[in-house]
Amino acid sequence: MSTMISIQKLANFTFSPQQIVDCDTYDNGCGGGWPTNVFIYARSVYIANLTIYPYSGVRSTCRATSTSTTIKGPYRVLNYTYTNTGNNVTNCAALLAKIQKSPMVVGLDATDLFGYKSGALNSTKTNPNHAVLLVGVDSCNNWIIQNSWGTTWGLSGLARLTPGNSAGICICGGWNVTMA
């Protein structure tokens, strides 16, 4: 019997984005992909911790398989559910309500994220082209995201986006993930 946990319970576990880049054959590594394809891959193998399978930012040979003994994480995706925001860029209420319960995978426009260092980014770009983990909101209702570009980017891998549809965060909706 497997134990079901939501991704919010994994606060001390950082999944390896490099494993996804290297091993997910449904997508195109650093060239992009789609969250549901990552979830399909993550149902088939266990996801390693970032410390075991570190981020390099370039696609390499996959070092984790369903039979791997050297790199095997303790969790795999059991289920995922989609929250549709209705593609209403002026109303992020559905996303805000869901993030109060659990982190979510969301799509956004990463154009202005490349040079992000600190503060709350107010990006007017709204063409979703990148997925991140939306981990919550701060006391000023800024969205807090965790990016896959390593801990040297932003605020140790995190960024704050101004409330509302900054970087088009409300356009795609989001996915809550249950791990086993």
- Find the catalytic residue in 49, 87, 127, 130: 130
Interatomic CA distance for residues 142 and 171, integer angstroms: 16
Q: Which residue has the tokens 């801990």?
A: 151
Is residue 147 part of the annotated active site? The answer reads yes
Amino acid in position 48:
A
What distances in angstroms separate CA 38 from CA 24, 32, 119, one per listed residue?
A: 7, 11, 30
Residues 171, 143, 164, 31, Cα dihedral to 10°: -30
Q: Which residues have C-beta within 8 Å of that of residue 160, sequence separation ≥ 6?
A: 119, 120, 121, 138, 142, 143, 144, 145
- Find the catalytic residue in 142, 147, 165, 176: 147
Catalytic residues: 130, 147
